[in-house]
Structure 1
Amino acid sequence: MTQQPFSRPGAIDLSSLQRPATPPPSGAAAPAGSDAAAGATGGATSAYAVSVTEANFQTVLESSMTAPVVLVFTSPSQSPESVRFAEDVATVAAEHEGRFLAATIDVDVSPQIAQAMQIQQVPLMLVLLDGRPATQPIPGAAPIDDLRAMFTQLAQQLTAQGFAGRHQPQSTVPAGDEGEDEQAVDPRYAPAQDALAAGDIDGAVGEYQKLVEANPADHEAAAGLAMAKVLQRTQGVDLHAARAAAAADPDDLDAQIMVADLDLLGGHVEDSFARLVEAVRRSVDKDRDRAREHLIGLFAAVGNDDARVLKARQALASALY
């Protein structure tokens, strides 16, 4: 199988294929938990695989803004081997733990998508990033070892170009439990989440720290670690006393940081960020660096793609320069 170079420039815009749909909630990276995906053919069962129809195609495109989506076009009636190929792609995508989302399109069920994308044969694979093709279409059913080599190469090229995003694991509901709509928990994060549920914040910090050390590009673990540290720092703190201390001495960086943490926990994200931007503006030397680094840590806790974070980054740049 010829390995395709990863490329963003010059990709074909697929916006004409998008249909009106309810946008995913903030922080959601992929659509498999949606009712439309659950009703699609293909039976995707991997934590990083989804079946695609016209109903959820736009959401799949949107998920490629986070990390690549690997579209596989199949036809059980025309090409039985295409179904097995799609299963192999899902298997390999799962091995990369969120770096890719495998998305299967049955052209017998969704011929409009195949026609719009000018799909002439099945099986055919196409990698999407930022809602557009990032490689040339790859025809044919390649052996799984060739797929592993190609995915590894793409992952390396993504990392080299600074793309470290990961998809959230998809919701997988066992047969017979269709009434349950609970998101599957990624087993990597279970120990940290269990510790938080038990009130063991120090334990959660330790578990998230292990994940970040093992994979610095794991943004979910980094966000979990940042938020767990906020919880750790604010344990037992009296909110009113903290606010009074910060108001009494605007130059007390420790006091400003504490209130920023408390504001974040209370849902006052913009206030939290604004307080630390002002601390950066007022501080010099080591204090300034400390305020900036703490603010960046809070950005991670909220999510670096959050609109409030993007706005605060601009304010931080203005305060620094």
Structure 2
Amino acid sequence: MSPAALRGAVDLSSLRNRPAPAAGAAAGAAAPAGAVDVVVDATDATFGEILELSRTVPVVIDLWAEWCGPCKQLSPIIEKVTRELDGRVVLAKVDVDANPQIAQGFRAQSIPMVVALIAGQPVPLFTGAVPEEQVRDVFAKLLQLAAENGVSGTLAVDGAAAPGAAEPELPPLHAEAYAAIEKGDYAGAIVAYEKALAENPRDEEAAAGLGQVRLLDRVQSLDIQAARAAAAAAPLDVQAQFDVADLDLAGGHVDDAFDRLLDLFAALPADERTPVRERLVELFGLIGAADPRVSAARNRLTSLLF
């Protein structure tokens, strides 16, 4: 796909001429001299620098949010692949809740959404959580496209970790799960998180990780068109509806996933509802109790129960 593919569909003009931040601010753009970190946070105020940086190296934009479970699984993979490219690509992470102008500029209707900038022009990459192998393939094609358009610079990479204190060492079973996820071995990650919860049932991070990796494991082999066709053909087929709800959630369409399962719950006989309720509770845990969409869905579920 050419960098001009989204012209007319994506308007970044309002972000192009932002004033540069004061010296020392976390801008996300590389200084001409000195080493830089290739993984940065981009904001509405600093996005103009990101656009300029994309004339030197391709910039990958990771649009995410704190409540988005699939985002938390995908972002470490993108960061790992970016760092391995030693300054040939920059990753700019954008919290869509804190930076609505960027989200609007890219017309981000679901997250995680990953796009790239080449010489200031947007290039769509993918939406939803994808395995590491696919991320690597997309990045390789992005580098080829960038070179074809005269963007083939390399930044001097800061060999140090990102600013701030070193991250605490992960517990062994958490580290085992992360290693399995990076290899695309979701079954292995599930086993590791289950062991962690067996040792400590109050391990909230393991519980959250288990829910997220179970979702990734379920969707990795699904064909979205086939799944939607099966669900449309059999509205009361619980597994068919589960498959589409999983795909919707992995793609950031949270309300669609909840509504589908709540409609299914309402349509089923009382003695067949338990698996649907359990799946809803699992998905609520992925998004987080504080999210208003979870609150609304819980309220509807409660009203259907009584």
Question: Normalised by the shorter chain, which TM-score bucket?
Answer: 0.3 to 0.5
Q: Greater Rg, structure 1 or structure 2?
A: 1
TM-score normalised by structure 2 residue count: 0.45
Answer 1 or 2: higher relative contact order, Cα 8 Å, separation at least 6.
2
